[in-house]
Amino acid sequence: MPFEWILALRFLREGRMQTALIMAGTTVGVAVIIFITALMNGLQASLATRTLSTQAHVSVRAPDDAPTPVLERAGATSVVAHIEPRVQRLRSIDQWQRVTRELVALPHVVDVSPITTGSGFAFRGNASKSIALMGVIPERYDRIVKVSDKLTAGQFRVGPGEAVIGIELARDLGAAVGDRIRILSSENRDDVFRLTGLFDLGVKDLNRRWVIMPLRSAQSLLDLSGGVTHIDLTVDDIFAAEDVATRIVSQTGLTAESWMAINTQLLTAFKNQNMTTRTVRVFMLLIVALGIASVLVVSVVQKQREIGILRAMGASPRRIMRVFLIQGGIVGGSGALLGSGLATLMVYGASFALLQDDGSALISGRIEASYYLTAAAVAVLTGLLAAVAPARRAAKMDPVEAIRYG
Amino acid sequence: MADILRLEAVRKSYNVGMPIETEVLHGIDLALRAGEFAALIGPSGSGKSTLLHLIGLLERPTAGRILIAGREIDALDEAGMTELRGRTLGFVFQFHHLLPEFTALENVMMPALIDQGRATRAMRERARGLLAKVGLADALDKKPSALSGGMQQRVAIARALAMNPPLVLADEPTGNLDSHTADDIFALLREFNRAEGSAFLIVTHDARLAAGCDRRIELMDGQLLAATV
């Protein structure tokens, strides 16, 4: 083992109390950093999953109609114009079968479901309610919004002439599974559906408005034969949704909105949380660094005489400096190791202690390997940086002073 | 025999360029032959320690030349001085200055460890042999705190000789020891002088010890007394 390492290790070993304290401090610091990161990520993932249980990660639709300018601007003539925005009508996505195949091939995309949606009314007896027609391919749509998991009665089966509605709408219409309701679309076409199931998506508005029916039925009711208005899709990494949406826009020319663009307030909350987490992390690191630095400074002062004699015996200032830098690195590194262990226990404990309403764990008991590696690298670096000032001080120590006042 | 140490018109001032500038050494000329066993004596404040620090390459002179083992120290940078110090000089201090974290054996190995960067079997054998010669064959693995003052000084002497240096500098090596132990330590220095051929320059207050040296160099008010050079 090199001279500098022998000295650094022995100094740490023999400085028992100091070493134990600073290691404990570093350990707790690293553990808190890892734990808070795991906790925040767990929280966000849980929140996002809940929000996204009734939404697609990315929703693709035909681009909006834009007004066509009727006045040519010629030469130096200025034109004062008020351009009325176009009224948006239901439009189907051009060649949606081809687009669907294209979307499936994109990276990150997991499931794709074409949908035809529009507005209308539901009638039963003399009750009428405003509703949203959701024409879907059931087995595909079930992979985007897990309707079959959210049924309170019946089953998720929408064959021709069958529909599934929310519990609120069922109550408003006084309908139950097996009953028939009449749907009138905004295009003034109507049809009768037999209810095969009732769902509770956890959002009252959706429970009151959605009528899920076969794609073909919605197409004919909305006068869009063979067309779809939306293509919903899910991605493997929910935070990649925005990138996927951007890519879809540039590749297909269609409009694509990610859940992030739709739920901006949620995203803002996430960003604020992330900033809070970062702030906590930075201050934890600062405290760890100050702790290491202060212990090493004390150690340098205590070892003044020994540094002097080492210099007299031929150790260069540079090597003395290295001895103290290594100590900082060792404290940081072992703190990272012990802290990772502690964080693992904390996260494991929290996976039992912190439960959501439905009894599932708020955070998973596992920590990604990257957290450990990052924490270890940052802790070693922090240790080294914290040791710079004490190490320089040790290197500058005048051997004559050190020896004279033995 | 060749000179191991040569000083020519060496001066040393402190606080150079300031109103309180004080010259401690006023032109020292001195030569020490290889293998010589000399005492440096003089009253407190005469500049003995300063002279020893200059010779020990711990400080640079304000003026004059110093040659150690034929090498002009003026031509050396900090790294060169550090290396020359490690290889040609051994130090014994009044306060032993052992490293309390290390055992006696490790302390004696330290100069060689600094020189070569890592521990070798040869280093360990040399250190073991030296400790046996100072009568501490049984205390190899003891920490300094477990040794008496005299034993600590013996370890320090063994350490000073670890690199087989041509010149050993000792600053009051018996200063805080009782007279019986002091005699033992002095005898040990003489023994190493004979056996290893290292030259010794010993700063001491003790007239009895000085009398036992081959040569007495007396410093008074920053100048060497002519009769003793």
pLDDT digits (tens, 9 = 90+) for A372-384: 888 888 888 989 9
Contact check, Cβ <8 Å, B95/A406? yes
- Please, which pLDDT band fits residue A71 given cuts at 50, 70 and 90? low
Query: How many angstroms separate the CA atoms of B151 and B153, rounded?
Result: 5
Closest chain B C-alpha to A397 CA, distance in angstroms? 12
**pLDDT given at position A75:** 66
Residue A76 has pLDDT above 70, yes or no: no
Q: What is the mean pLDDT of residues A128-133?
A: 94
Residue A135 has pLDDT above 90, yes or no: yes
**pLDDT given at position A70:** 61
Condensed to tens digits (0 to 9), the pLDDT of residues B105-126 reads: 999 999 999 988 888 999 999 9
**pLDDT given at position A406:** 45
* Closest CB from B58, B95, B102 relative to A312: B58
Q: At what angle do helices A16-52 and A264-302 cross, to 10 degrees?
A: 170
Please list, residue by residue across A84-94, b when 16 or more beta carbons sit within 10 angstroms of its beta carbon and e when fewer do. eeeeeebebbe
Amino acid identity at A62: A
Q: What is the mean pLDDT of residues A231-253?
A: 90
Residue A192 has pLDDT above 90, yes or no: yes
Chain B residue with Cα closest to A314: B86
Closest chain A C-alpha to B100 CA, distance in angstroms? 9
Please list, residue by residue across A251-261, b when 16 or more beta carbons sit within 10 angstroms of its beta carbon and e when fewer do. ebebbbbbbbe
Q: Supply B63's token pair.
A: 């003026």
Closest chain B C-alpha to A365 CA, distance in angstroms? 43
Residue A396 has pLDDT above 90, yes or no: no
Which residues of chain B are modeled with pLDDT < 50? none
Q: Is B49 on the interface with A (CB under 8 A)?
A: yes
**pLDDT given at position A401:** 75
Q: Is B85 on the interface with A (CB under 8 A)?
A: yes
Residue A121 has pLDDT above 90, yes or no: yes
Residue A405 has pLDDT above 60, yes or no: no
The CA-atom distances, in angstroms, between B87 and each of B11, B65, B168 are: 25, 20, 11
Q: What is the mean pLDDT of residues A346-353?
A: 84
Condensed to tens digits (0 to 9), the pLDDT of residues A196-222 reads: 999 999 889 999 999 999 999 999 999
- Please, which pLDDT band fits residue A152 given cuts at 50, 70 and 90? very high
Q: What is the mean pLDDT of residues A337-357?
A: 85
Condensed to tens digits (0 to 9), the pLDDT of residues A314-330 reads: 888 899 999 999 999 99
Residue A65 has pLDDT above 90, yes or no: no
Contact check, Cβ <8 Å, B97/A308? yes
Under 8 Å CB-to-CB from B25, ≥6 apart: which residues? B10, B11, B12, B47, B50, B51, B54, B61, B222, B223
Residue A84 has pLDDT above 80, yes or no: no
CATH 3.40.50.300 fits domain B35-60+77-228: yes
Among B87, B93, B141, most A C-beta atoms within 10 A, so best to mutate, is: B93
pTM of the model: 0.74
**pLDDT given at position A69:** 62
For chain A, the structural domain boundaries read: 3-51+267-404, 96-262
Q: Supply A234's token pair.
A: 């899910």
**pLDDT given at position A365:** 65
Phi and psi angles of residue B205, each rounded to the nearest 5 degrees, phi first: -95, -15
Residue A74 has pLDDT above 70, yes or no: no
**pLDDT given at position A220:** 93
- Please, which pLDDT band fits residue A265 given cuts at 50, 70 and 90? confident
Q: Spell out which residues of chain A touch residue B56, defining contact as CB-CB under 8 Å.
A: 312
Q: What is the mean pLDDT of residues A27-45?
A: 87
Across chain A, mean pLDDT equals 87
By mean pLDDT, which of A122-136, A346-360, B16-30 is the weakest? Answer: A346-360
**pLDDT given at position A68:** 67
Phi and psi angles of residue B77, each rounded to the nearest 5 degrees, phi first: -85, -175
Chain A residue with Cα closest to B160: A313
